[in-house]
Structure 1
């Protein structure tokens, strides 16, 4: 049976913490609306106590969203939880996301307390949040560097206190996929009440492993992935929503899928780029400008003959109009002929050869040969288009 993985989007909280990416309420509402249409299960709308603007945004998103759960972040502090509950009071499906650091690094050098006190604070926060909403998620910050046996004690205690979701963040992006997967497996096998909560992954990309770690998580029993559009997030970013969604779609062996409407991925990617002023690199998986672009002659020839030779995703699946055959000095005759035919020119092999040689000269002088250049090339060689 296929396992349906919940998608928890934190573009509007973790993503919005990036310097230069702050959004006003109007733009947050616009993105929240698109996230709901995309089909995410949970929208983390913000950190209500952090500022009056964030409180207003969470409150307005709570009023707007009808099908997804709306979540507000808090620390394990009563005032945070009260403010979040107030911001979420109009939500159809509210969730309070509370938690505390659990690694020795956080316990002893950041919070400067004891392991026992951390468990007490976590339990107290979950119980207090539970007095306001039924759906309470607990995050064990820096779980990636937390001793597994102690982490299991924390998780067991907060589930007993009423947590419905337990978030196991690789806060510093430190874990290798096999380590992170083993951590989730350890919790599945050693927390006696784990069946009463969903395990969630929340992976950062400091070493470029966020997506791999999230997939390792679901392979070992996690039921929710926390991610952002375009992988936007603090430092090197978060798990990329579009990547984990399409990995599950393409690998049937994972026996996992989401309810995401993948045809909307490119559109919401562009919206986030525009509104959050954070471009993605051209070679970004799924949504980058070059994700479906082919410029080397061997690849172009293969794609023209059969798209599956070099593309495992049909561009239409993710909302991209079509693959692009980009003409450069590395392009071959097949690609040139393909682009010329798109312009209405039909050349025999004999006619193509002199045009191709002129094309190579043009390509050596320009990064990319566009349609206007091709038309001029045809005119100069007296070829009808």
Structure 2
């Protein structure tokens, strides 16, 4: 496998759908899955087949239509879960079972009421069952972010020996700082004897707003798969945002990584997921938010109009977004006002703009944003007075 390729594992249809009010029907899931494949996602986690008949049907239906991406079904380390997932994935061209169990002492004690030794046994058994049913098995070490590194390494080594092709190291509660998560991945790279036989995967949650940073730290330290969702949706505060990690990798070429994602499709699929899941995207969301390429400060507007790269590190067209926006407010300057008048077809000289600017400020002080209709009134009044 290419050492510098980062595999994009999208869990919008599984972890993303766990957001209250975001339940999708099978047709909606198929539509999003097809667009994820068009986007260039490597693995689509289609659902948790044993959780409900509807989820089973959705995973089965997605398996029938996806031709290039791997289709993945989630399970617990329970034989029945794994067998049901395999049945749901039987039509997939490239099926993957994603099984796992808690790795932290917190989970082992309070969730499973068991011992580390029993966890190792259950993990190995589940992995072997899954590997007998499909050739591609991913094992998640839940709450790895708070797990003891030495035990985590033993668990990872155990499941790889049992047949896991990918090992997922989730920061399930979004607890880790980026350097801590990166050090955890590096520890596994350096202390798991058979680590070369599997891909390490990052699955980070955003409880402290660090999911993207942790995922990038993970790949810098040896992980080669990032698990993420469109718009960063997911449990509680959400998951790693697909569009963010993809564009960080694309913009920071010095990292030496690449993905198969077609960045021009990021904004269209963001809108599709937002509309279908009835989950609005916050305006200041990186890459896909309505204000991601909007400028309202006069200093920023002046610099942007002279040279876009002064305040934009991404060309909006490169991510399928509308052109950059100059938003007129009381903080805007003359250059932005002249630019907007020019866009409306008015060619005013410097003296005209100076006069118009004084009137503009009075309007701007009474409104949050000065619209084109306001500018038309200002322009026509000015022309009438100076004619």
Shared topology, TM-score over 0.5?
A: yes
Residue in 1 aligned with 2:135? 134
* Residue pairs, 1:106-255, within 5 angstroms: 106-255=107-256
Aligned to 1:318: 319
Aligned residue number for residue 350 of structure 1: 351
Which residues in structure 2 correspond to 1:15-54 (within 5 Å)?
A: 15-54=16-55
Task: Name the SS for the 1:7 alignment partner.
Answer: strand
Q: Which runs of 5+ in 2 are unaligned?
A: none
Q: Is the 8 A contact 1:2 1:255 kept in 2?
A: no
TM-score normalised to structure 2 length: 0.98
Contact 1:130 1:162 in 2 (8 A): yes
Distance 1:277 1:120 in 2: 42
SS of corresponding position for 2:383? coil
Contact 1:286 1:318 in 2 (8 A): yes
In the alignment, the residues of structure 2 paired with residue 148 and residue 352 of structure 1 have an alpha-carbon distance, to the nearest angstrom, of 65
From the superposition, tell whether residues 188 and 105 of structure 1 become closer, same or farther in structure 2 (CA, over 3 Å). same
Measure the CA separation in 2 of the matches of 1:130 and 1:3.
Answer: 26
Determine the C-alpha separation between the residues in 1 that align with 2:283 and 2:127.
42
Query: Equivalent residue of 1:3, what SS?
Result: coil
**Counterpart residue number, 1:72:** 73
Q: Which position in structure 2 is the counterpart of 1:61?
A: 62
Q: CA deviation at 1:321?
A: 2.3
Question: Cα deviations across residues 285-338 of structure 1 (Å, max 9, x unaligned)?
Answer: 000000000000000000000000000001011001210000011100000000
| CA deviations over 1:41-64 (Å, ceiling 9, x no partner) | 000000000000000000000001
Task: Report the RMSD for the aligned CA atoms in angstroms.
Answer: 1.0
| Paired residue secondary structure (1:365) | coil
* Residue number in structure 2 paired with 1:280: 281
Q: TM-score, normalised by structure 1?
A: 0.99
Aligned to 1:262: 263
Gaps spanning 5+ residues in structure 1: where? Answer: none
SS at match of 1:140: strand
**What SS does structure 1 have at the residue aligned with 2:374?**
helix
Q: Give the drift of 1:354.
A: 1.4
Question: Match for residue 308 of structure 2?
Answer: 307
Q: Cα 1:224–1:368, aligned 2, differ >3 Å: closer, same or farther?
A: same
The answer as to whether partners of 1:263 and 1:317 remain within 8 angstroms in 2 is yes
Report deviation, 1:2: 7.0
More deviation in 1-10 or 47-56?
A: 1-10
Aligned pair count? 384
Q: Secondary structure at the match of 1:98?
A: strand
Q: Does 1:105 align with 2:106?
A: yes
Q: Does residue 368 of the first structure (1) align with residue 364 of the second (2)? A: no
CA distance in 2, matches of 1:156, 1:314: 43
Matched, 1:338 2:339: yes
- Ranges of 4+ aligned residues in structure 1 off by more than 2 Å: none
* Residue of structure 2 equivalent to 1:84: 85
Q: How many angstroms does 1:382 deviate by?
A: 1.7
Given that 1:95 and 1:133 are in contact with CA atoms closer than 8 Å, whether structure 2 keeps it comes out as: yes
